[in-house]
Amino acid sequence: MAHKAGFVSIIGKPNAGKSTLMNALVGEKMSIITPKAQTTRHRILGIVNEEDYQIVFSDTPGVIKPHYALHESMMHQVDGSIVDADLILLVTDIYEEYDETDVLKKLEGSSAPVAVLINKVDQSDEETVKAKVDFWEEKLKPKAVFAISALKDYNVLAVMNFVIENLPEHPAYYEKDALTDRNDRFFASEMIRAQILKQYKKEIPYSTEVIVTAFVEGEKLHRISAEIIVERDSQKNIIIGKGGEMLKIVGTYARRDMEEFFQKKVFLEMFVKVIPDWRSKKNYLKKFGYE
């Protein structure tokens, strides 16, 4: 039997019920749950592993009209995850006022099959649901439309089966067994990166790279060392902050995220290093895993 694997992007507005759907779809089968980590292309929410398939569910930030630069960059991520997707699940709900133009615009850039999931149908009646189904079939000509209730687990299995059916043949993208060290390092660096995105303004997060240099697992405690690489001394000063304040904040929050994620105490040490112009130096990019 050929092995199937693919990225399934769950898109839709905030509050459409994406997280509830995610939990219902993945249920107990979740082998990796990431805290909302900004990975390079996706926010990976969960990976479902079975012998003959692997589904990588990724969320996109709720689609919004960009009001300022950060939103712009979040929307680039939406675009990225739509372009990268092998399959798209558009989650809308029964209260939707037919003004999903933002979302539909995003979908124009994709050739991936789309399924529309009309959520919260438990709070509606048959007539309304049917009108919604007709609207979406007409508007988008999707591969499928499902009326679901993620909360009540209604029709979720049908969605899951649709996903498995429409996965491309492909080897697994991620290790199938328990989290390997490489994945653990990856998630640790993502948690630091997420805090850098959160705590600093403007260009700082984009001129920063996070490298986990040591990851020592213990029974009760993981010891993790990381380097935050920046391009200029001025950036180093910003990252460290007055009297080391800022770096301390990043470290505290990142450590909490790691402890929750690894279910272990974590000792985290971070160093800030200046490598002028690292982004254009081939050997560094290679070392950081970009090759």
Among candidate residues 114, 97, 152, 99, the one with its CA nearest the CA of residue 11: 114
Question: At residue 157, what is the residue type?
Answer: L
- CA dist., res. 92 & res. 103, Å (int): 10
- CA dist., res. 250 & res. 168, Å (int): 39
As annotated, the binding site includes: 12-19, 59-63, 119-122
Q: How far is CA 231 from CA 190, 196, 205, 261, in A?
A: 19, 15, 11, 30
Among candidate residues 18, 10, 8, 26, the one with its CA nearest the CA of residue 93: 18
DSSP state of 291: -
Output the furthest CA–CA distance in the chain (Å, rounded): 63
Give residue 96's Cα distance to chain centre.
24
Token representation of residue 187: 């998630």
Report the half-sphere exposure of 69 (CA within 13 A, side-chain side).
6
Report the half-sphere exposure of 91 (CA within 13 A, side-chain side).
29
Cβ-contact 1, 52 below 8 angstroms = yes
- CA dist., res. 48 & res. 27, Å (int): 9
Cβ-contact 114, 90 below 8 angstroms = yes
As annotated, the binding site for GTP includes: 12-19, 59-63, 119-122
